[in-house]
Structure 1
Amino acid sequence: MNVSRLMDRRLLPLIGPLLLFGLWELVISAKWIKPVLLPPPGETLAYLWGAVTSGAILPDLLSTLWRTLAAFGIAVLIGVPLGVLLGSSELAYRSVEFVIDFFRSTPSSALIPLFMLIFGITDINKIAIASFGAMLIVLFNSAYGVMNAKKTRVMAAQIMGVSRWHVFKDVMLMESLAQTFVGLRSAVSMALVIVIVAEMFIGSETGLGHRIIDAQQVFNVKDMYTSILITGALGYLLNLAFLLVEKKLIHWSGKA
């Protein structure tokens, strides 16, 4: 692969954002939406740059990031061991499968009133409901990763007389990592979504969700779109970080 083709591949991720902002500019130019409701992309990006360089948005960004990472950390600490434990015995997983799928299929936002009754209007509430939603995703993927470990490798280890513990630890767990990381990437995105929703509708003084809803209520549309763009960028960067870690740790994924 020559240098020009390599550079072309590195520039591919820029096509999507350019198309998005091009469409945004077209909508404004064609007057399909009034500029008072959707300001031009140049003005919005200038406002975003000012909010970032001045540090005005930093407290809200850090609050949301802290809540997201705290919720995700709790989800991993509970979801991975429990998922691996259940996945190692298919009968055990099938016995609780309905409960897992029921709550996994229930929108976490529908559970906000329940968590408010239990934890009150506090940061603990936001972290708890986000960690609950993320934990179910981690648990599901970890369990299925263990259950769907390549049977040929498991059988080969058993035929060679490897103990059940070492088959589980060295074969099934390693085989399950790819599926587990899929769950981790989905879970961190889910944790961010739930935190943003919780910041919007549960009493909060900081956070990007709080900033978005406040800007909407006072009709500060530039600040609203800026906060939305920052939220999207945060989600993208968290997902990208996990992709890089996954490629580093699970370099054998997909290989025979």
Structure 2
Amino acid sequence: MDLGVGSFVVANSLVSRQARGIMFVNWKVALQSVSPLVLLGAGRLIFTAGVDYQVHVGEYGVHWNFFFTLAAISLLTSIFHIHPKYCGIFGLVILIAYQMSLKYGLSNFLLSSERASDIISQNKEGLFSIFGYWGMYLIGVHLGFSIFFVNGASTKAANKQHTRSSVWILCIIFWSLTVILDRYVDRVSRRMCNLSYVTFVLALNLQVLSVLMLSDFVPVQRPLLLEEVFNQNLLGSFLLANVLTGLINLSIDTLSSSSIAAVGILVGYMLFLLAAVSFVWFHNVKLKFW
């Protein structure tokens, strides 16, 4: 999960409107894209509180969750119109300033279990980690623009080779930075979304991407049917998976389950999720309404 939330931000930034060079987005479009995230965040808060679902406040805080973080990133990106060519610089400046704040006392505040009654202290992890996620997003926008979209980088065979090489080189660079930052600056922490966590997420996602790009060498390429099934309703599939996880945790004491029972639960979980998503795909239902 710690890697998943960062990977979601990176994947979203690499193919975002900003990475494709679409600079102007009116407020109506911006609010339409943010409103589902705010509603999902509020819904998650209400439902988890209503059923007394166990939530670790050290993750994002008492009231905050990752949907609110995504909404905040989207709003900040809409307010500050930064050309993708310069997003990398702005993202780096934000991350360095945030990391310096962590180094000079902010990390002690975020990692402390003590909380005051004000809204900031109650949700300190979620609120302050926005800076880390926003910096990560801006760097992802710059990488997506520079590698995949500038001058039609993904359309020509020669450029594809250059793109593959760029991804591999960047992967090595970010892994090297992660090792150095983790050892000499600050340990990787998703809770704070510090600089070492950002480079770690970027390194791992670029590594996965570089491996997937080797499929260009396969003579015949076809998207797997399973990919098409999930791609049609990615957010709906994600939400259903989360709801199923919650229902299982509420109805079964998973911590006390045997290995055989755990495997059975996971297999049943995957089969049910696949059946539900396939049913929606078969009937050509698209759940996106914004």
Does the pair score TM above 0.5?
Answer: no
Give me the TM-score of the superposition, normalised by structure 2. Answer: 0.26
Larger Cα-atom Rg? 1
